[in-house]
Amino acid sequence: MLGPRQEAQGALFYEFSIEGHVPQDHLLRSIDRIVDLSDIRQYLADFYSHTGRPPIDPELLTRMLLVGYCLGIRPERRLCEEVHLNLAYHWFCRRDLTDAVPDHSTFSKNRHGRFRESNLLRRLLEATAACSIAEGLVSGQRFAADASLIEADANKQNSTPKEDWDHGTITPDDAPRAVREYLGALDDAAFGAATKAEPKFTSHSGPSSQWTAARKGPAFFAYSTNYLIGTDHSIIVDVEATRSIRKAEAGAVRTMLDRVKGGFGQHPERIIADTAYGSGPMLGWLVGRKIAPHIPVIDRAGRTDGTWTRADFEWDAENNQYICPEGQELKQFRRNYSDPNRGPTGKGVAKYRALKLTCQSCPSKARCCPSMDFRSITREEHEDARQIARDIAKTKQYGISMKLRKKIEMLFAHLKRILGLGRLRLRGPCGENDEFLLAATAQNLRKLAKIFPAPQQTRKA
């Protein structure tokens, strides 16, 4: 039987409470128990004028941004619409039904101004990391580090080849914000000073981005988000934004480790990373700070012709020489030079050579140096640290570390698939830094909400 037509009739008065319409198991209820923004107004007080129109509450803007990045609503126009329509979002932002939602342009004004000047977004991330450390979720014994490419808001059609690009002709006053930030980051180790090599193409809208084909597919403009996580519960303890090149990413790990030690007093016993961080200078830096590098070594000393490799030669540190399998010595210098220019080159590489007469009469010459008169071996400046990493790779703990390293890969997968950060919306070094910090904060909050969910109320029978 067809029932009567249902028509909504407006009532003169309503008894309505947003609190009762937000489910007890909603994600935002758990996040609300963790987020503490009570001191945000005091923190930003110096960045507001004492005269003029009253500003939008910074706590409201911050809560709206957290809603957007925790639930994958990154466009700010859409975020304002969703907060206006969704009761749970309204409740989390401390809004009543009659309270208006700020205009989307308010976010741009605050982000380009006081939020960046006060470093507010990094403070939010550090607050979640500090909460995790206080709850015992980050022991500080094992950290893992890695970088992931995030596509920039740029395309090849709006770019210039390297032979035609000249940043010296740019007028900063007339340039877009992203270009001004690029000029300001030319001496930054994470961007302009990371390498002297010019990229094949430079984007006009985001010149700090890197033209890369690292995904083994069509090349694109990208930035790198660098994570440092505690492997106990996959908590992100620090984030750094860089260009998508190996040297900048390795430098980001050093920056993050120093920052975590200064901010939280965390000094890990070991650091876990992939081969991209296995260079000599990086391993030497870690060993010098008494951090065990659970990292595969970048080693190009292997040979494909079956002859002896450097690993077949024994290093004699006391006498600064190598000993070949036949017991002969390979030395760097066989006499003292009065001319200092005849000494080490200072390029971080030393060469050790055997005597020509010794090699010519050696019965194993065919297995050692069949096409050369004598055998020589190069030794890098940080070879001791490289050997420490090789020895660690033979231990059982190293195998465990390689399994733990997958946790950071899972975080990157969550970042792109669940939070939707496959492509950036904001431009320039500051824009990408803002997005990476907010996304990492959202990941930490979701993790904490899962570990410490809001208490559930039993339903009445």
Q: What is the pLDDT of residues 341-350, one digit of tens each?
A: 554 444 567 8
Same domain? For 177 and 231 the reply is yes
Say if 375 falls within a structural domain: yes
Question: Is the Cβ–Cβ distance between 183 and 172 less than 8 Å?
Answer: yes
pLDDT of amino acid 168: 60
Domain final residue pick, 86, 118, 150: 118
Taking the model in full, what pTM does it have? 0.86
Say if 7 falls within a structural domain: no
Same domain? For 152 and 263 the reply is yes
CA of residue 187 relative to chain centroid, distance: 20
Same domain? For 337 and 224 the reply is no
- Backbone phi, psi, residue 127, to 5°: -65, -40
Q: What is the pLDDT of residues 215-263, one digit of tens each?
A: 778 889 999 999 999 999 999 999 999 999 888 999 999 999 999 999 9
- Amino acid identity of 414? H
Q: What is the pLDDT of residues 88-146, one digit of tens each?
A: 999 999 988 888 889 888 888 888 888 888 899 999 999 999 999 999 999 989 999 99
pLDDT of amino acid 343: 47
Say if 12 falls within a structural domain: no
Q: What is the pLDDT of residues 279-316, one digit of tens each?
A: 989 999 999 999 999 999 988 777 777 888 888 888 88
pLDDT of amino acid 99: 84
Q: Per the structure block, which two tokens stand in for 15?
A: 């008894």
Same domain? For 171 and 241 the reply is yes
- Amino acid identity of 136? G
Domain final residue pick, 359, 380, 401: 380
Q: Is 270's pLDDT higher than 70? A: yes
Instruction: Please state, rounded to an integer, the average pLDDT across all residues of the chain.
Output: 86
Residue 159 banded pLDDT, cuts 50, 70, 90: confident
Q: Count of alpha carbons within 13 Å of 92, Cβ hemisphere only?
A: 31
Domain housing 39: 18-46+54-118
Same domain? For 159 and 241 the reply is yes
pLDDT of amino acid 414: 95
Mean of the pLDDT values across residues 333-359? 70
pLDDT of amino acid 460: 47
Same domain? For 94 and 231 the reply is no
pLDDT of amino acid 213: 85
Say if 106 falls within a structural domain: yes
Same domain? For 165 and 271 the reply is yes
Mean of the pLDDT values across residues 376-383? 85
pLDDT of amino acid 239: 97
Same domain? For 262 and 219 the reply is yes
pLDDT of amino acid 137: 94
pLDDT of amino acid 12: 60
Residues in the chain, total: 461
Say if 445 falls within a structural domain: no
SS3 378: strand
Same domain? For 153 and 280 the reply is yes
Q: Per the structure block, which two tokens stand in for 283?
A: 């391993």
Q: Is 274's pLDDT higher than 80? A: yes
Q: Is 318's pLDDT higher than 80? A: yes
- Backbone phi, psi, residue 343, to 5°: -85, -155
Say if 283 falls within a structural domain: yes
Mean of the pLDDT values across residues 390-418? 95
- Amino acid identity of 275? T
Residue 190 banded pLDDT, cuts 50, 70, 90: confident
Same domain? For 142 and 210 the reply is yes
Same domain? For 278 and 316 the reply is no
Domain count for the chain, please give it.
Answer: 3
Say if 226 falls within a structural domain: yes
